[in-house]
Structure 1
Amino acid sequence: MLCIQCFLSLEEANRAIASVLVDLNNRPYRKQSGCRRSVFDEIDRRALKPLPDRPYRYTEWKTVDVGPDYHAEINQHYYPVPYRYAREQVEAHHTAIVEVFRCGPRIAPRSKSNRRGHHTTIETHMPPEHQAVLKGCDPQRLSSWVAEIGPHTAAAIEHQLAAASSPGRRIAPTGACCAEQGLRTRLAGGGLPLRKS
């Protein structure tokens, strides 16, 4: 009997179960005719469908709001969607990858990131005017611009650019520095408008 045996691995337990399974399935019922095997052949076998080509993957679905910066927060990371979906609700499906859907079609597949609180930005998802700003925000141009303001402002901006250039803070697929995200703090906080007229 299997209930009194001790198994040290799943494979060992499966072998022991397989050895008694044929006898169990062919054992006649006590209160009705037939056995498990005959009922399976008569009823269940006809209803069976082929297994899917790909194995089942556990998936989580989440309804999320896209922010005005065309990023959707999924598991505390901000994933980009095309800018025309800003301020709309989308469905996010995440496993090893993150897929964003809007009214059925998939609009943004992405690799999953475990960097909480960070943004993944894709240049092609930006509106044209943001792409133009990004092209004009190369680190050398910004450095020379803030050097005109003063040495302390230049040091603060250099610090922000260094943080923006750290791994995981890049725009895919080109790898360009995500300067506008690194400088958001300085620009919003009034760091650059300190320039004297």
Structure 2
Amino acid sequence: MEIAKHYYNVPHCLVHQKVEARITQKTVEIFLRGKRVASHLRSTLPHRPTTIAEHMPSPHRRYRDWTHERIRSEATKVGPDADNLIHVILRSRPHPEQGFRSALGLVKRYGQERADAACARALVLNAPSYKSVAAILKNGTDRTPPPAQAAPILFHANIRGHSYYNRSGED
């Protein structure tokens, strides 16, 4: 639940349920049908989570104490593109445990080489997420070369363009 740009968790079994919050200067209490289901100290740090471990699903709890350094170390074992993808994910997500499954969780099923190639493809496509990497592996597009990128079209005041050269003696 987001309150004043800060994220407070509720028990994971209540995901997508409508809850209410009571907010004071020091606490945030969350209620489901009048029953308190969570209580947190209020935080003013924007875009950061306040999490109670018992509210997390068990796969997230297993990794909650992992540091960014440990996550990066595990990604490096997969390959350089997995490490790059994990770096992007860790910088962009408020909850690290949501991000590193992208490469690490798929290694067991597809192997290190394919997982690293899928991470490379996800980076090229600017789609750094678990769903993107999983779809790339499922569809086998990690085994094909990435699409060639066209040279960017330049727009600048000092570029004359074709109309300048196609003038018919107007001077």
TM-score, normalised with respect to structure 2: 0.48
Highest RCO, 1 vs 2 (Cα 8 Å, sep ≥ 6): 2
**TM-score by structure 1 length?**
0.43
Structure with greater helix share of residues: 2
Q: Higher Cα Rg: structure 1 or 2? A: 1
